[in-house]
Amino acid sequence: MYSPAKVLFLLFIMVVVFFLPLSVTATKAESLRVAICDNPPVTFVDQQGVAHGIFVDVLEEIAEKESYKLEYISGTWAESLDKLYNGECDVLPAIAYAQWREKRTDFAKETVLSNWGKIYRRTGLHIDSILDLKNLTVAVMSDDIYFAKLVKLLASFSVKCKFVSYKSYNEAVAAVGSRQADVAVVSRFVTIDKKYDGVVSSTSIVFAPIELRFGFKKGIDEEVVNTFDRHIRAMKSDEASVYFSSLTKWVGASSEVRRDRNIWTVSVIGISVLLVGFVFVFLAARDKIHSGKERRRGDRRADDSRRSVDQVVDKVQAQAQNVVENIADAIVVVGFDDQKIKFTSGGFYNLFGYKSESVTDSEFSRLVEKGDEFLSHLENCRHSSESGDKAAENSVSERFFDFKAVHCCGHVFDVQCACSISAGSGDGNGVSEGNEKTFVFSLRPVVSEVTPVVIEAKPTDKKDES
């Protein structure tokens, strides 16, 4: 028979065996080391050492609900990334998802923000496309995703330039402002300081849309990642959540959620179809008015009225054309039956190197390496359109496809195509009257994920950021 002392001892052992592991796990989950860098309004630390930003607001909301204790570790972006890779921090907010980064990072599945790269230039420097970066000095942030993507994009067009790396986007912009560099590559969220007014100017070049997520050190407890995803998913579905209030606070809008990876392409092509449609409709209206003018030359009041309509139509057409021309993707309108090019936007020249007048009325297949394969994609799009709404819904994948395109210099490169069909009014009088059914393509280069390569780096004299 056991003595009371032995019974108490056995109970103590049971408590230790069954409850100590749970206690250790909970303690680990309650403390998270967070690497943070200066990237407002996404993440930043103020002069008092307090962390702020969209990701910080989301992080602290999760921490409050889960009783996590947060320890912020500030540094440059490159330092923060190294800490994550080396396991010296548990969480890195606002890291761009990339497949090659999965080898050293555990990513949350939920995207917090969509982002893309922008290029700023020295005022007075003429830059319309990435081809104009040839032989220029480009300021970039070390280990930046846009740096990596631009290197690959320029290589695909055999464009060589000199890269100078800096510790932050602000330093890269400052390099342009002080004429140490010609252009700077930054995130779309970067705000240019007013002191650079008249010195640093924006370009129309945007590229490399990416997803910003929470990154975790490799091998972290999977439950922590799942917990973040669960809370972020809940916040994104509740317009009264901290997530939306943070967007309103920091960027003045609450429309940053991207529920689908293709939404940016869908939006661009949708807007493009509408704008091109408006152009064609107004052209048709103008031509019909001119026809009426020929039949009723004697009616001066009708002529004056039609002249006023012409002026309005021309103005609206010019405004619509201007919007289409400034869309970053290459927008191409192609005949539904003959596949001849009817219209190209300014982005077409940036992508293919051809001016609009040199390709108008020529077959689009001349720009494709494998014409038969491309035509089969168009047939699939045509079939899904003619088979009714239900069939079209089941054939959405056919509207998005990749193909190999041929640049004017003969270089072959990969292009992503979002294809839509614009239906005319059915008179069959041609595109100038806005009645011909057409394909509308939104085209952009496919950029493979690569590890950043510094072609030429230059150390900065500035001290580390805090």
3-state DSSP of 399-457: HEEEEEEECCCCCEEEEEEEEEEECCCCCCCCHHHCCCCEEEEEEEECCCCCCCCCCCC
The boundaries of the domain holding residue 204 are 115-211
**Distance of CA 367 to CAs 85, 328, 348, 352, 455, Å?**
43, 19, 11, 8, 31
Q: What is the DSSP letter of 365?
A: G
Distance of CA 114 to the CA centre of its chain: 6
Predicted model pTM: 0.54
Gyration radius of the chain over CA positions: 28
* Domain end (from 211, 227, 252): 211
pLDDT at 365: 85
- 306 with 199, same domain: the answer is no
Whole-angstrom Cα distance, residue 154 to residue 298? 60
> Is 170 inside a domain boundary?
yes
Whole-angstrom Cα distance, residue 136 to residue 126? 12
Whole-angstrom Cα distance, residue 464 to residue 466? 7
CA angle 382-415-351, nearest 5°?
Answer: 115
Q: Is 108 within 8 Å of 232 (Cβ atoms)?
A: yes
- 202 with 129, same domain: the answer is yes
pLDDT at 147: 94
pLDDT at 335: 87
- 325 with 434, same domain: the answer is yes
- 319 with 425, same domain: the answer is yes
Query: Between helices 263-295 and 300-325, what is the axis angle to 10°?
Result: 160
> Is 91 inside a domain boundary?
no
* DSSP SS3 for 130: helix
Q: What is the DSSP letter of 279?
A: H
- 204 with 285, same domain: the answer is no
Whole-angstrom Cα distance, residue 346 to residue 286? 24
- 359 with 430, same domain: the answer is yes
> Is 349 inside a domain boundary?
yes
pLDDT at 348: 85
pLDDT along the chain (466 residues), means of 10: 57 53 48 94 93 97 96 95 96 94 95 94 92 95 93 90 94 95 95 92 90 96 96 94 93 51 46 53 53 54 57 54 60 87 84 84 87 81 62 47 82 82 52 63 67 42 35
| Cα separation of the two ends of the chain | 67
Dihedral angle of Cα 385, 390, 376, 409, to the nearest 10 degrees: 70
Q: Is 77 within 8 Å of 95 (Cβ atoms)?
A: no
- 284 with 385, same domain: the answer is yes
Q: How does strand 137-141 pair with strand 162-166?
A: parallel
> Is 384 inside a domain boundary?
yes
Q: Which CATH number goes with the domain that contains 404?
A: 3.30.450.20
Residue 95: other Cβ atoms inside 10 A: 25
Q: How many domains does the chain have?
A: 2
Closest CA to 339 of 356, 361, 372: 361
> Is 356 inside a domain boundary?
yes
In the chain, the amino acid numbered 267 is: S
In sign, the C-alpha dihedral spanning 47, 51, 52, 55 is: positive
Structure tokens at 465: 């950021």
Q: Which CATH number goes with the domain that contains 193?
A: 3.40.190.10
- 306 with 413, same domain: the answer is yes
Whole-angstrom Cα distance, residue 100 to residue 116? 18
- 289 with 352, same domain: the answer is yes
